[in-house]
Amino acid sequence: MKIEDYANSGILGIREYVPGKSKKQVEREISVPEIHKMASNENPRGASTRARKLYRELEKSLHIYPEIYNPDLMGKFASKLGLAPENITTGNGGDGVIYNSGMAFIEQGDETLIPEITFSVYETITRIMRGVPVFTKMKGTGIDLDDIYSKITDKTKMIYICNPNNPTGEALPVDQLEDFIRKVPERIIIFLDEAYIEFTEEKYRPSSVKMIREGMKNLFILRTFSKIYGLAGVRMGYGISSPELISLVQRVKPPFDVSIIAENLALEALDDDEFFSTTIMETAEEKKYYYTTLDNMGLKYYKSQTNYILIDTGKDGREIADKLTKKGIIVRPAGSYNFPSCIRVTIGRRRENELFFKFFREILGK
């Protein structure tokens, strides 16, 4: 018996997810005075201040299950978004929502359209479900909506669009994206991953929630608490869609996939307006610092609508990332995204950004 014979044959085509290195992993490998993780687009300010305060009180609830489907959260998201609780599903991080929705929607043989350069989990869940990922061309480094449209067939079940896209941080022009969403046949689900939308300038933010409010059935939006609210370690994501699609996802969702900690901290973080706006303000400020410094260094980079920047090092991105790691700065080499000379760097706070540039300049001799 070969190991492959035990497998769901769909998963054999999956490449293992390569995450950014963890701080602990680097601590085990090298000894440096400080380690800064700038590889996974977490919030360098830590978690929402209000969520952190509440966290200490949660120890008295650790022995009980969370409420099934997290109705308080569904209600709160709904009222914030001008929708009904039936428009909301929660999950174990955004990844959990990608899995739950994929399980609900993709059947064996269904095609899903996925841009060639994007977040890898859409392909993973397609393969798990024995669907067929169909990759669409990029327009330069951006998502090519025309190519996606031209690849629609009778078998197309879902279209995955990450906006702003990972790893470039580029956002699609709002009018083009909205026109596209409206013209896709209603039988096809458009999965719009908005993991970074809170960082995006107003002019690049599509009226995606409004479209659902107006009754669009086949649009499914993903949001997460991992980035703007600083709760990546807690695992909390949510989906926004029509009651019809949400009801299908609720059928397959593991009953308690959002822990009592995640549920309560997310509820609290949602009210943390100060943390939210400081994060946005500081990220925008630091992004300018990156742009200016990279311009001075004469390096190419991608203008980002998120909390990370893809930088073309002009060398082997993996080697540069390894050298930075040895100095205690963990960044993400972008070879797995097809940008072999690039690194993706999470925008940190000023001190760690300065430290990043100190070592980056040393390594590049610039």
Ligand X SMILES: Cc1ncc(COP(=O)(O)O)c(C=O)c1O
Query: Which residue ranges make up the site for ligand X (CB under 6 A)?
Result: 41, 93-95, 119, 162, 166, 193, 195, 224, 226, 232, 237
CB atoms within 10 A of CB 165: 27
Measure the CA dihedral 249/251/256/257, to 10°. -30
Instruction: Please report how close the Cβ of residue 189 comes to ligand X at its closest, in angstroms.
Output: 16
Q: Which two tokens stand for residue 85?
A: 């609780």
CB 74 within 8 A of CB 236: no
Q: Which is nearer to ligand X, 22 or 293 (CB)?
A: 22
Using CA of residue 184, residue 187, residue 192, residue 193, what is the dihedral sign? negative
Q: How far is the CB of 48 from ligand X (least distance, A)?
A: 15
Task: Judge contact between 113 and 136, C-beta under 8 A.
Answer: yes
Six token digits for residue 53: 């305060």
Give the shortest CB-215-to-ligand X separation in angstroms: 26
Nearer to ligand X, 51 or 363 (CB): 51
Give the shortest CB-33-to-ligand X separation in angstroms: 28
Q: C-beta of 226: minimal distance to ligand X in Å?
A: 3
Is 37 within 8 Å of 233 (Cβ atoms)? no
Q: What residue type is 172 in one-letter code?
A: L
Of 11, 17, 32, give the one whose Cα is nearest residue 323. Answer: 32
Those residues whose C-beta lies under 8 Å from the C-beta of residue 184, and which sit 6 or more positions away, are 149, 152, 159, 190, 218
Which of 94, 102 has the CB closer to ligand X? 94
Residue 111 or 193: the one with the smaller Cβ distance to ligand X is 193
- Helix intervals (H) in the chain: 3-6, 23-29, 49-57, 71-81, 93-105, 121-128, 145-150, 174-183, 208-213, 243-252, 260-269, 273-297, 317-326, 350-364
- Residue 164 or 317: the one with the smaller Cβ distance to ligand X is 164
Shortest Cβ 365–ligand X spacing (Å) = 32
Residue 119: CB minimum distance to ligand X, A: 4
Minimum CB separation of residue 308 from ligand X in Å reads 9
The nearer residue to ligand X, 205 or 323, going by C-beta atoms, is 205
Nearer to ligand X, 170 or 193 (CB): 193
* SS3 letters across 12-29: HHCCCCCCCCCHHHHHHH
Please identify, using beta-carbon distances, which residue of 125 and 246 lies nearer to ligand X.
125
- The end-to-end CA distance of the chain, in Å, is 56
